[in-house]
Chains A and B, each alone.
Chain A
Amino acid sequence: MNIIVCIKQVPGSNKAEVDPVTGVLKRDGNDTKMNPYDLYAVETAVRLKEQSGGKVSVITMGPPSAESVIREAFAMGADEGFILTDRKFAGADVLATSYTISQGIKMAGEYDLILCGKQTTDGDTAQVGPEISEYLNIPCIANVTSIEEIGDKGLTVLMDMQTAIEKCFIEYPCLVSVDKDIFLPRLPSYVKMKASKDQKINFITYEDLPDKDETKVGLNGSPTKVQRIFPPSVNDKRELFSGTAEEMTETVLTKLKENKFI
């Protein structure tokens, strides 16, 4: 089975803040990691390969430095890596990102299954997977908590609907977004890391895309526009207390009584 996993490089911490006075976004731009939810997708892919053979490719869109997450995937057992990187991809929203990645997937060869993580920790939208499937005209299922059966024609999976579990059969080729905890992600292997140190990564630029249409990528291809960013609002009916532990305990109890919680 040929599997393509979509992964993303995200900031290492979520401690970004807007300075309320200057409006400047404060963040350490150098600290990055693989999106934690993608680890589950890579793990799922590698397990499926171990069971039924085939190849695992990973694909990402981002700056050239996103190479590091491809290398991490190699160390977990991925065989091939693709990076979509071009300044024409700058400023892409969900739609433009999905389009660009779907174009990259068309260049990555034949596939049976595309796997995505639940969502990213920097965008938190969970939208890119389903949008990619639309561009590739393949069926998709998200919130998959378990793969029950790997068939010749498709997969039998469980989808978590919060109050119910839907059991579905999905035909290849298809896209599946896996939930956290579907499998425990393995640690990157030192041996694999050494072995894949010089492995070639395929860089894909705008010029390489099968459909070169500037109105579909980057900022030009993004129907949503960020108008402004600002610090979150503060609650104006708030009180702040400090003192000894005894005094603070008393304050909490008073507030609980005042509001009839006890």
Chain B
Amino acid sequence: MAELKFNTDKVKDIESFIKLCPFGAIEYKNGELHPNAACKMCKLCIKKGPEGAAYIVEHEKEAVDKSLWQGICVYAEQVRGKVHPVAYELIGKARELVKVTNQKVYCLMIGHNCDASANDLLRYGVDEVFVYDDICLEHFNIEPYTAVFENYINNNKPSAILVGATPVGRQLAPRVAARFRTGLTADCTVLQMDENTDLQQIRPAFGGNIMAQIHTPNNRPQMATVRYKIFEKAQPVEKITGKITHCSLDGINLKSRINVISVDDKPPVKSIENAEIIVAVGRGFKKVEDIEMAKTLAKKLGAEIACTRPLVENGTFDAKCQIGLSGRTVRPKLIITLGISGAVQFAAGMNNSDYIIAVNSDPKASIFKIAHCGIVGDIYKIVPQLIERLG
């Protein structure tokens, strides 16, 4: 437990102290300074304010016994018997992380008739797959799924739980985290393990060009979600040593106030997540019509077209074309960004691409910090020439 406090007497210039806070979270009332509800605990006031003006008071809190919580569990989400590919990426990362702590990698699978899928997970070096199989778990339904997850955690006490940031994972993980009153970090892009089993979770934060390193020092389990295509898929092992454990549903409340009426396939749409080549457009295009040239270029390269957030917000593109933290994460072999400045919000969704070519007129654009080939120039001149030369 900790609390941020201010010592008003140590602040000579109240106004500039208030301005230190990028969130406007410092209040001055009745001659006293206080942090308000906008505080994000970035601690810049401590770092940049006068010595002793801002400080943290630590209250003693009963420490969690971390040794009771062992190993990393990957939630292996399956929809109608098919495991979501993000699970294999999380297994790969989990195997890397447990090298530090010398612990095990587990998978939790909830569904119906999922033995084949569970067996397949063992090929990727999972030590134990816990399967909860029942007809009433066939389709995702948050209440029984949370109850099963709770049962798994209580019986097995994993130190950390990784969940794919899929439409299912993004609802199920927070519901489970709240049940255990524990921390959950969304959309992590880097995970590291400390020797004391604390999971270091790094993600883009505050909607801006900033990364935050977050941990859960005094709660277990530690929980994190990770998008598809952030980590690399696990390598198969030569010899399978793991096992499958079928878990009993006795005593688990599988009742739900949600009734799944039907589950229908969505008509397959070309998705930017599966594209090998992407042409991405940003606000450098001044008019909607101008984007046609980017589409022509994409066609010549056999690429899918994608865009940044502003072009979805202004209605030019459908949300499924959006790359970024609030859109899709892509990992193509090649991405050409046109007129995109490269805010971290966007970069987080594409900076794992194998090769990045960026064309932008501003030599200081942050996209050039991640582009393998940065081209300072005018898209209105270069794109038409490229189209012509590609024939």
CB within 8 Å of B: which residues of A? 10-11, 14-18, 23-27, 29-30, 36, 61-65, 84-87, 89-95, 98, 119, 121-131, 133-135, 138-143, 154, 156, 159-171, 174, 177, 180-181, 215, 218-220, 222-235, 237-243, 245-246, 248-249, 251-253, 255-256, 259, 261-262
Assuming the A-B contacts A163-B79, A224-B183, are A241 and B213 also in contact, with contact meaning beta carbons closer than 8 angstroms in the complex? Answer: no
> In the docked arrangement, what's the CA distance between A155 and B130, Å?
34
> Which of B44, B174, B183, B204 interacts with A130 by CB under 8 Å?
B174
Chain A at the B interface: mostly helix, strand, loop or mixed?
Answer: mixed
Per-position binary interface string of chain B over residues 158-193, scored 1 when its CB falls under 8 Å from any chain A CB and 0 otherwise: 000000001110111111011101111111000000
Report A-chain residues with C-beta under 8 Å of the C-beta of B139: 166
Contact stretch, chosen from B100-108, B282-290, B369-377: B369-377
Report B-chain residues with C-beta under 8 Å of the C-beta of A231: 209-211
**Cβ-based interface call for B319 (8 A):** yes
Quick check: B205 and A229 within 8 Å, CB to CB?
A: yes
Quick check: A89 and B37 within 8 Å, CB to CB?
A: yes
**Cβ-based interface call for B13 (8 A):** no
Assuming the A-B contacts A164-B266, A229-B211, A255-B373, are A126 and B186 also in contact, with contact meaning beta carbons closer than 8 angstroms in the complex? Answer: yes
Quick check: B187 and A125 within 8 Å, CB to CB?
A: yes
Quick check: B264 and A237 within 8 Å, CB to CB?
A: no
> Which of B167, B217, B370, B371 interacts with A143 by CB under 8 Å?
B167
Quick check: B390 and A262 within 8 Å, CB to CB?
A: yes
Report A-chain residues with C-beta under 8 Å of the C-beta of B146: 134
A238 to nearest B CB, angstroms?
Answer: 5
**Cβ-based interface call for B96 (8 A):** no
CB within 8 Å of A: which residues of B? 1-4, 19, 21-25, 27, 34-44, 47-48, 59, 61, 79-80, 139-143, 146, 166-168, 170-175, 177-179, 181-187, 200-201, 204-219, 256-266, 277, 301, 313, 319, 325-326, 333-334, 336, 343-345, 347, 351, 355-357, 359, 363, 368-378, 381-382, 385-386, 389-390
A-B contact pairs, 17 of them (CB 8 A): A15-B343, A61-B37, A123-B206, A130-B174, A140-B171, A159-B167, A161-B266, A168-B260, A219-B2, A219-B3, A220-B59, A231-B210, A233-B211, A235-B356, A238-B368, A238-B369, A249-B389
Quick check: A95 and B178 within 8 Å, CB to CB?
A: yes
Quick check: B167 and A160 within 8 Å, CB to CB?
A: yes
Contacts A95-B182, A127-B186, A256-B357 aside, 9 further interface pairs with beta carbons under 8 A come to A23-B47, A134-B179, A142-B167, A164-B263, A218-B37, A220-B2, A220-B3, A226-B214, A239-B373
Report A-chain residues with C-beta under 8 Å of the C-beta of B319: 180-181
Report B-chain residues with C-beta under 8 Å of the C-beta of A23: 47
B17 to nearest A CB, angstroms?
Answer: 13
Quick check: B44 and A24 within 8 Å, CB to CB?
A: yes
> In the docked arrangement, what's the CA distance between A225 and B39, Å?
13
> Which of A62, A160, A161 interacts with B38 by CB under 8 Å?
A62
Report A-chain residues with C-beta under 8 Å of the C-beta of B187: 124-125
> In the docked arrangement, what's the CA distance between A23 and B141, Å?
44
Quick check: B370 and A62 within 8 Å, CB to CB?
A: no
> Which 5 pairs across A and B sit closest by C-beta, in order of nearness?
A16-B208, A90-B39, A223-B183, A245-B381, A224-B183
Report B-chain residues with C-beta under 8 Å of the C-beta of A169: 258-259, 261
Quick check: A25 and B24 within 8 Å, CB to CB?
A: no
> In the docked arrangement, what's the CA distance between A90 and B376, Å?
43
What is the count of residue pairs linking A and B with beta-carbon distances less than 8 angstroms?
355
> In the docked arrangement, what's the CA distance between A122 and B207, Å?
4
> In the docked arrangement, what's the CA distance between A161 and B34, Å?
44
> In the docked arrangement, what's the CA distance between A231 and B202, Å?
12
> Which of B43, B173, B258, B374 interacts with A241 by CB under 8 Å?
B374
Report B-chain residues with C-beta under 8 Å of the C-beta of A125: 186-187
> In the docked arrangement, what's the CA distance between A261 and B167, Å?
33
Quick check: B266 and A252 within 8 Å, CB to CB?
A: no
B365 to nearest A CB, angstroms?
Answer: 10
Report A-chain residues with C-beta under 8 Å of the C-beta of B175: 130-131, 133-134, 140
Report A-chain residues with C-beta under 8 Å of the C-beta of B301: 256, 261-262
> In the docked arrangement, what's the CA distance between A92 and B206, Å?
14
Report A-chain residues with C-beta under 8 Å of the C-beta of B344: 232
Report B-chain residues with C-beta under 8 Å of the C-beta of A27: 22-23, 206, 208
> In the docked arrangement, what's the CA distance between A163 and B351, Å?
24
Chain B residue nearest in CB terms to A254: B373
Quick check: A238 and B382 within 8 Å, CB to CB?
A: no
B317 to nearest A CB, angstroms?
Answer: 12
Quick check: A238 and B40 within 8 Å, CB to CB?
A: no
